[in-house]
Structures are given as structure tokens and as C-alpha cells.
Amino acid sequence: MKQTILFPLLFSSILLFGCGKPRENGQHITITGSSTVAPIVADAARRYEESHPGVRIDVQTGGSSRGIADAMSGLADLGMISRALKDGESELTAHLIAMDGVCVIVHRDNRIENLTRKQLVDIYTGKISDWSEIGGAPGEIIVAGKAEGRATLEVFLDYTGLDSADIEADVLVGENQHAIKTVAGNANGIAYVSIGAAESESEGGTPIRLIRCDGVIPTTEAVAKGLFPMTRPLQVVTRGDLPDASKAFLSYLQTAAINDLIETHFYVPVAR
């Protein structure tokens, strides 16, 4: 049994844009949730505020589970999630703003280029523990798993057919950046993260590499064409009637006016 080390979630509730204030005549909008969706929404909020000076928009992360909980309880006007709604979340309405994929990453120096679904299952359940067993250089595989409540975990479990209890992780991480830093700092690391986040970091010089899953290259183009096996919706969720300001901003998020922002973050726009 591998020893599990909890990676400190120091920034699970980072305030990405602005700071919380009491709602003022519906002109203050609070949005919480998925760290994958948050960069798009924060950039859109900045642009929107420029043309709507009376509106203040606060965007906070904390994971899809927080977005669901805060939208349900009314702590947030809008919740951000990077997965589909579940049966027990029928009180919420989901609004699609983009698509993303979940990819497997290794260190840039790792020569492994492709993993099958079966190999991923064996790695994450401890049956394969050294890279040399699948054609890599000798070295113990350092498995980074996602903490409960993360949408990437649910997408990964759906793809592999595993239960979270089956996974033997050396490190538990939360947001995409935690996973990326873990792999970038360990030549034998492996993790799964948003394709958008991984592409952005890789192009920026972070020493990680996106590898193929069952032969499919993880790109936003593959996601857009429906070719990549691990894909997910990036959504905003609401409950009941919204204040006019929140309703107007939600409508803005669903227009092609933010497609350039979505593409900047390496995600796939859905509005035309």
C-alpha cells in the first residue's frame, strides 16, 4: 500500500477577481466554483465591467462541489462546474459556456508517449509501479490523484471505470495547478488535468508533456471534433430566478463575445 501525502490546498478558495461585498441592488454578482471555469469567467467579468460600470463581479474558486453548494444555498448567484449535473442536483439549471478535455500529463523528460486505458487503470491501482514496466526509463511512478469533489476526478473515474476507493495515490492534489506543479517537480510523476490548463502551461515552458490516451493526441481540436475520450462540459449553474444584473451577465457568458477568451485558455467555444 502506498503512503498517501496530502498536498496542501492552500488556495482552494482563492479570490481571483475582486473581494466579496454585500449585494447592492442586484449589481454585485458573486460567482464561485470550478478552478477550470474560473479563468474564463474572471476574464469575461473584467471585460463586462468595463462596459457596465455599475456592476461588480467577484469570482472565487473552490472546485465544482463548491459551485454546486453555493448556488444551491444562495451564497453565490452563479456556480461554476466542469462536469454535467447529477441526478440529485435537479434543482439547478446548467448553462453551457465551453468544452474541455481531461488529459494525462508526465514530466517533459519522460519518454512515454501513449498510455492505454488498461495501463492507466493498472498505474492508478498500483499494479504497475515502475515506468520500466511499460517501456519507460526505470523509476518508481509517483501517482498524483485528485481530491474528492474535483470534477476531473469524476471524468477520470468515468473513463477508467474505477471507483475512487480503488486508486492508490502517492499525492493528493486539488486544482489543476497543484497537479501540474507536482509533475513538473518530479521526473517520475503522473497526473490528469484539464487539457486547457496543461496546454497553456506546456506552451509557457512548464516541464510537462501531454500524452496520448489510446492513441488520441490530447488537443482542443480533438475535443471539438469529439475524438478525445475524456471530455467534459464547462458550465455555470443557477437556482431559481436571478437578479437582473446576474441574468444579464449569464447571458453574456453564453455569447460568442467571449469566444476569444475561451480560446485564449485553450478551451473549446460552443456559442456561434
Residue 3 above 80 pLDDT?
Answer: no
On whether residue 104 sits in a domain, the answer given is yes
Write the pLDDT tens digit of every residue in 125-136.
999 999 999 999
Residue 202 shares a structural domain with residue 246: no
Phi, psi of 153 (to 5 degrees): -60, -45
Q: Please give the pLDDT value at position 202.
A: 94
Domain residue limits at 201? 100-224
Distance of CA 23 to the CA centre of its chain: 28
Residue type, 48: Y
Q: Based on the domain organization, do 79 and 182 belong to the same domain?
A: no
Please state, in angstroms and rounded to a whole number, the distance separating the CA atoms of residues 186 and 174: 17
Asked if the structure places residue 1 within a domain, the reply is: no
Instruction: Give the percent of the chain with pLDDT over 90.
Output: 77
Q: Is residue 197 part of a domain?
A: yes
Shared domain for 114 and 202, answered yes or no, is: yes
Whether residue 24 is predicted with pLDDT greater than 70 in this model: the reply is: no
> Do 112 and 220 lie in a common domain?
yes
SS3 for 262?
helix
Categorize the per-residue pLDDT at 9 as very low, low, confident or very high, splitting at 50, 70 and 90.
very low
21 and 75 share one domain:
yes
Which carries the bigger pLDDT value, residue 15 or residue 182? 182
Domain count, the chain: 2
Task: Establish if 158 belongs to a structural domain.
Answer: yes
Q: In whole numbers, what is the pLDDT of the chain averaged over residues?
A: 89
106 and 44: one domain?
no
Tens digits of residue pLDDT in 72-106: 999 999 999 999 999 889 999 999 999 999 999 99
134 and 209 inside one domain: yes
Do 122 and 23 fall into the same domain?
no
Note the pTM of the prediction, 2 decimals: 0.75
Q: What is the CATH number of the domain that holds 24?
A: 3.40.190.10
Across 147-158, average pLDDT? 88
In a domain, 229, yes or no: no
93 and 104 in a common domain: no
What pLDDT, on the 0 to 100 scale, is given for residue 41? 98
Ordered DSSP codes for 17-38: ES------TT-EEEEEE-TTTH
pLDDT of residue 110: 97
Confidence of residue 174 (pLDDT cuts 50, 70, 90): confident
35 has a pLDDT exceeding 60: yes
Q: Are 89 and 144 members of one domain?
A: no
Cα gap 107→120, rounded to integer Å? 16
User: CA angle at residue 153 from 148 to 154, to 5 degrees?
Assistant: 100
- 6: in domain: no
**Same domain as 105, residue 43:** no
208 and 251 belong to one structural domain: no
